[in-house]
Amino acid sequence: MDKTQKEIEKSIKKLTSKIIIFDLIILIILLLIGLIFNSYYKQRIADQFSKALRNPLISGDNRYVVTELSHSVLQDFQVFSWVKNDTVVFSVPETSFPKNPFIYSKAEVPIYFDEDKKNEVGKLAFYYHRLSFVPYIFTIWLFLFFVSLFFLNREKKRIIKDYSVLMELELNKYKSELAEKLAHDIKSPLSVIESVCKDLKEDKDKAELLRKVSERIISISQDLLEKYRTEDKKDVVRQESIDFNKLNEVLSEVVSEKKILNPRINIQLEVSKFDCEFIFNKEELKRIISNLLNNSMEAKAESIKIKVFDDKDNIVISVEDNGRGMESEIVKKVGEKGFTYGKTEGNGLGIWSAKKTIEKYGGFLEIKSELRKGSIVSIKIPFKKSKVYVLIDDDPLVRKNWGITAKNKKIKLDSYSSFDEFLNKIDFYGKETEIYIDSDLADGVKGEEVSKKIYYLGFKNIYLETGYEKNKFKNLNHIKDIVSKTPPF
Amino acid sequence: MKNNDLTLKIMAFKNIRKPSDFDPAKIHFAPEYLYLENIYSPLVEYNVNGELVSGVAKNFRWEGNQAIFEIREDLYTADGYKITAYDAEKSFKRLFILNTNTHGNLKDMLCPNTELKSIGESCANIEVRDNGKTLVMKFKKKHPFLFPMLTAIDFAVIPSISIDEKTLAIKDHRNTSGPYYAISEENLDLEANKKHYHYNKKMPQKVLYIYENDINNFDLIKAFSEKKHDHITTVSSTPDKLIPFARANKEVVLHKTYPFWLRLVSFTAKGRREISKKERFEIGETLRKILLDCYLKSEGYEIAEQIFPSIAEGNLSSEQLNDINKLRNSFSIPKINKRKMIAWYFPQEFLSEIKKYFPNTQFIYGKGIPGIIDYKKEGFEEPHFYFSGTDMSFQEDISLISYHLSKDMFKTSGKEAKEWLKDYMETDDKVERIKKLNKLHYETLSEGYVFPIVFAPYAAILRKPWKFGLSRYYANNPIWRIYRE
């Protein structure tokens, strides 16, 4: 984390330096532009004044020039003078001329007798302050400076957020690798234990004990693996539609296994026919049921009943036992990470992991228990719903338009105004969800960049919705298509 | 028109047949000014942007109270006569002797108490230096409006060889100082003077004047359509006729100035003397209403509230204008006037309407400019009021002010006008001068001497491929500013 912190600080420092350099360059450019513009502007005004002063001057009406026109001239110039044959005829005001060439400049306009400009009458010289424009330039620069500060602040936040996302992904990857390594490493000794068990025919109790221990270790390693599986690897866990037959098959398999291992326990399976399907991973489901049955057996249950029925929206799988049960205070804590009850070697991850997995599919786990009478653990998983569309667009009108169309066509559409908003709900969506992203999100966020992040998070059905031509976008292989702002359904 | 034909055809002006009909010392009407500015050049000129630029003098400047003019050394007449400062000196002396010019009073500024009898006499305040290269005018003080005033064609340089020293008449119109010279003394046709500083190969090399016998019933635009001529000048027609014509004809190029052409009704010295202020307002406002009704139906005209354009120097403040409008409002209903009066120059097309309100007034087309002409000599009875159209300009233009003062257009007239002009020209501070002009303007209107009617732009048309290079600030129509690629 220290390293990350340093990297964040380094990136922010780099960005700050860039912005400071940019601001300084802008200041220099503004000053140069100001200098050039001031010179051009003053020369132009000098030309215009010269036209106005020309006839009175050429007629010798210096008095009129000095008394009537000088006020206008001196609004733009510090001093102006009428020079004939290198001799100053008069100057207004009658002070010494500004001498410092770094501070003052001169716009000179020759006046001619003839239209061919061959015969010079004299020159009008207008002195002006070179830096008179600086306050205006500085005001403009200050405005730009504050804009850049705002930009810097926003970018700082973005860097920190990006680093956080990156770090989380890195950490998950590390945990996944660790869990994989652990699972791999314990597989060999477990296989040895398993083979030894087979040979221990005489001492069935010891063999049974060893078998349970090995099963337990496998379960823990599997939990670890699941828990720290990274997002990309999680994709390997295939979501699938499970119907009545498939569920029956899964449960029968688990029950058969358990019956063989525990022939003394009466395990019954009651599956009511249902027509809908639900989304789950078959192997995960097997593991959860297996885990629940193990728990019942751990609780010294003699009879376990697995019931499957539907409650309109959900499929309900309940594991009902007549084991030792739990007090209500204990029931409340079951499912919390690390909480274990009644097991000498429990790690408190079994129910917690099952709960998390079920929740991932939009379902939940419910525990009812009564001390010395038994427990009922129910899994409720929502039936597969119609296809969900996601729209990420900062334009409320587009969102509204898509919303109305979706409503009319009875299509499930979830709209988000920003990537961050979507990120908060990302877990609710299956990786097959069709996601439509606006090419120009608010605050200059580009849809292409957001789509890359979403793709990296495992979503594959990503579309860029835009008002531009398709050929504006290149190298977007992760995107399925570029579509218009019209709802695609 | 052939592509290489650089001859421009213009209709000749009414009642003007020969070059000798024109004289810079006696300009009363705009067509005279337009012809003379082509054959003569002044010391100083205005360019198209309204800037003072070199004319016959390549340099001009004030040195103390002396105005110095350095004459171009490469200016020759068509026959090769070199124009020098001596020609400029004699031109001014001629002007002082004749004392009839209308656009500025140089004599009173330069030699007020000297009565020259011949151009051979010396005038202490005009001096030629450097063997004719420099002309110096010595004044008691610097006059900032001298150079602008000298742009008027009244102050054109006339080569000495073209002046009859005895009669002071201009005897030769071939040797001129302008970009053109008259090909013959018998007609107005012009040819470009290749030695002139305005000469270029794109300008009309020849200008032929087309004569029409029945000029009163002559349709200038119809003749243009029939290709009898190629150009209608700024003072030959009106914008309400030329603008729609140009819009409807692709072969026509239109030039339009800013709207400073004022149509007005002015009471003469006689009118001011014999008719009371109240009755002048009754007459003036009745005429104003009738004429506004007529003019505003046509394109290009806008109501004139005052004599100067609203953005021009000497215009009225909003308070002054309110005062004038209050006076006008009390005479808002047209009233029939049965007084026996004489009125000049009212447009023929509006006379039937005007006569309904002035049944006993005699409307005639006079001769010359009221206030300037000698009525007895010309055999006319002085009118009570007259209608005219005149250039009001945007900026202080001493030559135009002088012209307007000489023709009974402001409150003052005659000697009083001359005194006012003298005082005005003596005022160095321009702000003070403009205040005086404003006061004169206000009093002229509030006394009911002048009733401004409408402002309009001066408009001119050309046949393509000729193009205009004229200024939008001036009514002038110098032919050398017309060109073709």
Counted across chains A and B, CB pairs separated by less than 8 A come out at 55
Residue B128 lies in a domain: yes
pLDDT of residue B49: 87
Residue B403 lies in a domain: yes
Tell me the pLDDT band of A322, cut-offs 50, 70 and 90. Answer: very high
ipTM: 0.72
pLDDT of residue A261: 78
pLDDT of residue B3: 46
pLDDT tens column, B227-278: 999 999 998 889 999 999 999 999 999 999 999 999 999 999 999 999 999 9
Residue B224 lies in a domain: no
3-class DSSP string for chain B: CCCCCCEEEEECCCCCCCHHHCCCCCCCCHHHHHHHHHHCEECEEECCCCCEEECCEEEEEEECCEEEEEECCCCECCCCCECCHHHHHHHHHHHHHHCCCCCCCHHHHHCCCCCCCCCCCCCCCEEEEHHHCEEEEECCCCCCCHHHHCCCHHHEECCHHHECCCCCCECCCCCCCCCEEECCCCCCCEEECCCCCCCCCCCCCEEEEECCCCHHHCCHHHHHHCCCCCEECCCCCCHHHHHHHHHHCCCEEEEECCCCEEEEEEECHHHHHHCCHHHHHHHHHHHHHHHHHHHCCCCCCEECCCCCCCCCCCCCCHHHHHHHHHHHHCCCCCCCCCCCCEEECCCHHHHHHHHHHCCCCEEECCCCCCCCCCHHHHCCCCCCEEEEEEECCCCCCHHHHHHHHHCCCCCCCHHHHHHHHHHHHHCCCHHHHHHHHHHHHHHHHHCCCEEEEEEECCEEEEECCCEECCCCCCCCCCHHHEECC
Residue B202 has pLDDT above 90, yes or no: yes
Mutation target to probe the B interface, by most B beta carbons within 10 A, among A49, A61, A64 is A61
Residue A34 has pLDDT above 70, yes or no: yes
Pick B460 or B114 by higher pLDDT. Answer: B460
Residues B244 and B290 in one domain: no
Q: Which of A302, A357, A346 is nearest to A324 (CA)?
A: A302
- Point out the domain boundary residue: B142, B162, B182: B162
Residues B315 and B245 in one domain: no
Neighbours of B205 (CB within 10 A): 16
pLDDT of residue A444: 85
Q: Do A60 and B61 touch (CB under 8 A)?
A: yes
At residue A470, φ and ψ (nearest 5 deg) are -60, -35
Residues of chain A contacting B146 with CB distance shorter than 8 Å? 59
pLDDT of residue B215: 62
B319 reaches A (C-beta below 8 A): no
Tell me the pLDDT band of B198, cut-offs 50, 70 and 90. Answer: very high
Tell me the pLDDT band of A385, cut-offs 50, 70 and 90. Answer: low
Residues B293 and B420 in one domain: yes
Residue B104 has pLDDT above 50, yes or no: yes
Residues B467 and B444 in one domain: no
Q: Do A64 and B54 touch (CB under 8 A)?
A: no
Residue A234 has pLDDT above 60, yes or no: no
Residues B266 and B415 in one domain: yes
Tell me the pLDDT band of A198, cut-offs 50, 70 and 90. Answer: low
pLDDT of residue A219: 66
Q: What DSSP line would sit under A442-481, residue for residue?
A: GGG-BHHHHHHHHHHTT---EEEE-SS-GGG--S-TT-SE
Residue B225 has pLDDT above 90, yes or no: yes
- Give the mean pLDDT of A148-152: 93
Residues B440 and B469 in one domain: no
Q: Do A115 and B53 touch (CB under 8 A)?
A: yes
Residues B117 and B240 in one domain: no
Q: Are A113 and A93 in contact (CB under 8 A)?
A: no
- Give the mean pLDDT of A80-89: 88
Q: Are B98 and B168 in contact (CB under 8 A)?
A: yes
Residue B205 lies in a domain: no
Tell me the pLDDT band of A227, cut-offs 50, 70 and 90. Answer: low
pLDDT of residue A24: 94
Share of chain A above pLDDT 90, in %: 27
Q: Which of A344, A384, A343, A348 is nearest to A363 (CA)?
A: A384
Neighbours of A100 (CB within 10 A): 7
Residues B304 and B414 in one domain: yes
Residue A426 has pLDDT above 50, yes or no: yes
Nearest to A113 among B50, B53, B429 (CB): B53
Name the most confidently modeled range: A65-69, A376-380, A453-457, B108-112: A376-380
Residue B26 lies in a domain: no
**CATH code: domain of residue B270:** 3.10.105.10
Tell me the pLDDT band of A59, cut-offs 50, 70 and 90. Answer: confident
Residues B353 and B250 in one domain: no
Residue A323 has pLDDT above 80, yes or no: yes
Residue B39 has pLDDT above 70, yes or no: yes
The single-letter code of the amino acid at B224 is F
Residue A333 has pLDDT above 70, yes or no: yes
Q: What six digits make up the tokens of A233?
A: 């690897």
Residue A229 has pLDDT above 70, yes or no: no
Share of chain B above pLDDT 90, in %: 63
Mutation target to probe the A interface, by most A beta carbons within 10 A, among B45, B47, B49, B51 is B51
pLDDT of residue B76: 97
Residue B58 lies in a domain: yes
Cα of A86 to nearest chain B Cα, Å: 16
Residues B268 and B241 in one domain: no
- Point out the domain boundary residue: B112, B129, B162: B162
Residues B127 and B247 in one domain: no
| SS3 assignment, position A132 | coil
pLDDT of residue B351: 95
Cα of A95 to nearest chain B Cα, Å: 24
Residues of chain B contacting A58 with CB distance shorter than 8 Å? 52, 60, 147
A63 reaches B (C-beta below 8 A): yes
What distance in Å separates the CA atoms of residue A78 and residue A73, rounded to the nearest whole number? 9
Q: How far is CA A488 from CA A401, A402, A411, A413, in A?
A: 11, 9, 11, 11
Output the average pLDDT for chain A: 84
Tell me the pLDDT band of A235, cut-offs 50, 70 and 90. Answer: very low
Residue B211 lies in a domain: no
A58 reaches B (C-beta below 8 A): yes
Residue A185 has pLDDT above 80, yes or no: no
**What's the DSSP call for residue A169?**
H
Residue A343 has pLDDT above 80, yes or no: no
Pick A151 or A74 by higher pLDDT. Answer: A151
- Give the mean pLDDT of A416-429: 88
What distance in Å separates the CA atoms of residue A300 and residue A321, rounded to the nearest whole number? 9
- pTM for this model (two decimals): 0.62
The domain total for chain B is 3
Nearest to A61 among B54, B59, B430 (CB): B430
A484 reaches B (C-beta below 8 A): no
B141 reaches A (C-beta below 8 A): no
pLDDT tens column, B45-84: 999 988 899 999 999 999 999 999 999 999 999 999 999 9
| Structural domain range at position B148 | 40-162
Instruction: Find the closest chain A residue to B57 by CA distance.
Output: A113
pLDDT tens column, B410-451: 888 778 888 898 888 888 788 888 899 999 999 999 999 999
Q: Are B284 and B292 in contact (CB under 8 A)?
A: no
Residues 229-248 of A with CB under 8 A from B: none
Pick A397 or B205 by higher pLDDT. Answer: B205
Range from A439-453, B125-139, B374-388, B390-404 carrying the lowest mean pLDDT = B390-404
Residue B194 lies in a domain: no
**CATH code: domain of residue B110:** 3.90.76.10
pLDDT of residue A165: 86
- Point out the domain boundary residue: B131, B162, B193: B162
Residues B346 and B417 in one domain: yes
